[in-house]
Amino acid sequence: MLACVSVCQSLSNFYINIYLFRYDEKREEIYILAGATIGITIFKNGHWEFDDDTEA
């Protein structure tokens, strides 16, 4: 949970809008969609990663 607050605070500090905040109960993960292209997954263990959208 602390990782989620930290990520959201960092986005907010840079004035980036958070458009989607979703908790997946089955996978126990949080997904955040911010700005035009930022996607972040926060895992149950507190680690997080940016989505890799380089594949088109």
The Cα–Cα gap between 31 and 21 comes to 6
Domain that holds residue 18: 2-50
Please give the backbone phi and psi of residue 46, each rounded to the nearest 5 degrees, phi first.
95, -10
Mind listing the pLDDT tens digit for each residue in 17-56? Answer: 999 999 999 999 999 999 989 999 999 999 999 997 655 5
State how many domains the chain has.
1
pLDDT of residue 54: 53
1 pLDDT higher than 90: no
End-to-end CA distance of the chain: 32
Task: For residue 55, tell me if it sits in a domain.
Answer: no
Task: For residue 8, tell me if it sits in a domain.
Answer: yes
pTM confidence score:
0.83
pLDDT of residue 2: 85
Burial class (CB in 10 A: 0-12, 13-18, 19+), 54: exposed
DSSP bridge partners of 15: none
Task: For residue 56, tell me if it sits in a domain.
Answer: no
Please tell me what DSSP assigns to residue 21. Answer: E
